[in-house]
């Protein structure tokens, strides 16, 4: 393994890291853009600098990573780029405006780039994985102005669910993957009833992103620089998080499910016509 600490908001450093990886490990086949930053705060209390930093890390970090990957993959006409998205790429929620905007921007960026790759008949594949709420350490180091401790909006999934989805997407790329029934519900619900979701989230979105215990406004956060130490993959919500997603299983096996449904339908039609002929 090669570890290369990089501020993804710096395009030159991202490019240098990509060059180092290929020099040490060989050609890059899969590139995953996952870096993010956030601020839990009402918009009216945020500063322009905070919006800029979240945008530079979450959105431009993804763009810079994609550019570094394309520089190497396009001449070879192969490779897969995986963008780590969120249900919030389609449905913004209160108290995370900067992060939601960054994920929305990634989704729009991918739509544009995908069209260009198709136009050029490129062998480079692009996919975006829309994740649900995850039990990761970010809620303990995110900058927050909330009165109580920040949490992901329940239901919460373990990070292993996301890891499985990302691995599958990297090796079986398609346009998008939705992970978890809550992600599907949020994306589909916003498509058909956005006004209703506005009111629902206005009523529930504040409470659902906080849990017991007062927040320490002076605790260290990772907005401007990483926190020291290895914080692991799991956050503080192991007791409340689930480690499986039936929806993910159906997404991974949709071809088999489609074959099964068609087989059942064909069997039903055959049985129906046999009864008609006998009758």
- Give a three-class secondary structure readout of 110-143: HHHHHHHHHHCCCCCEEEEEEECCECCCHHHHCE
pLDDT of 248 over the 90 cut? no
* 123 closest CA partner among 171, 170, 73: 73
pTM to 2 decimals?
Answer: 0.88
Mark 216-248 as b/e (b = at least 16 C-beta within 10 Å).
Answer: eeeeebbbeeeeeeeeeeebbbeeebeeebebb
Residue that has been written with the tokens 């993910």 in this structure? 248
Please say whether the beta carbons of 140 and 211 come within 8 A.
Answer: no
Joined tokens for residue 226: 């990483």
**Helices and strands per DSSP (H, E), number in the chain:** 10, 10
Listed residue (231, 128, 240, 228) closest to 187, CA to CA: 128
Tell me which residue has tokens 């890891």.
163
d(CA 211, CA 209) in angstroms, rounded, equals: 7
Q: Is the pLDDT of residue 9 over 80?
A: yes
Instruction: State residue 261's pLDDT score.
Output: 64
Residue % of the chain over a pLDDT of 70: 91
Instruction: Report pLDDT digits (tens) over 45-94.
Output: 999 999 999 999 999 999 999 999 999 999 999 999 999 999 999 999 99
């Amino acid at each position: 393994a090669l570890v290369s600490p990089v501020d993804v908001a710096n395009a030159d450093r991202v490019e240098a890291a990509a060059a180092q990886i290929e020099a040490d490990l060989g050609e890059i086949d899969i590139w995953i853009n996952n870096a993010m930053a956030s601020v839990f705060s009402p918009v009216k209390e945020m500063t322009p600098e905070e919006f800029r930093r979240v945008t530079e890390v979450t959105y431009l970090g993804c763009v810079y990573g994609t550019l570094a990957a394309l520089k190497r993959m396009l001449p070879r006409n192969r490779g897969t780029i995986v963008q780590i998205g969120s249900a919030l790429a389609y449905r913004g929620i209160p108290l995370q405006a900067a992060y939601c905007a960054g994920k929305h921007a990634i989704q729009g960026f991918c739509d544009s780039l995908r069209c260009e790759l198709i136009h050029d008949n490129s062998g480079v594949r692009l996919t975006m994985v829309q994740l649900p709420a995850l039990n990761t350490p970010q809620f303990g180091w995110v900058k927050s102005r909330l009165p109580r401790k920040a949490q992901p909006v329940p239901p919460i999934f373990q990070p292993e669910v996301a890891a499985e989805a990302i691995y599958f997407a990297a090796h079986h790329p398609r346009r998008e993957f939705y992970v978890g029934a809550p992600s599907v519900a949020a994306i589909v619900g916003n498509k058909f009833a956005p006004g209703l979701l506005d009111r629902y989230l206005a009523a529930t979105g504040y409470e659902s992103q906080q849990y017991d215990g007062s927040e320490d406004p002076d605790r260290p956060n990772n907005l401007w620089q990483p926190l020291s130490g290895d914080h692991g993959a799991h956050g503080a919500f192991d007791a409340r998080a689930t480690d499986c997603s039936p929806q993910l299983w159906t997404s991974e096996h949709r071809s088999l499910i489609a074959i099964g449904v068609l087989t059942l339908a064909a069997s039903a039609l055959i049985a129906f016509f046999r009864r008609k002929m006998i009758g």
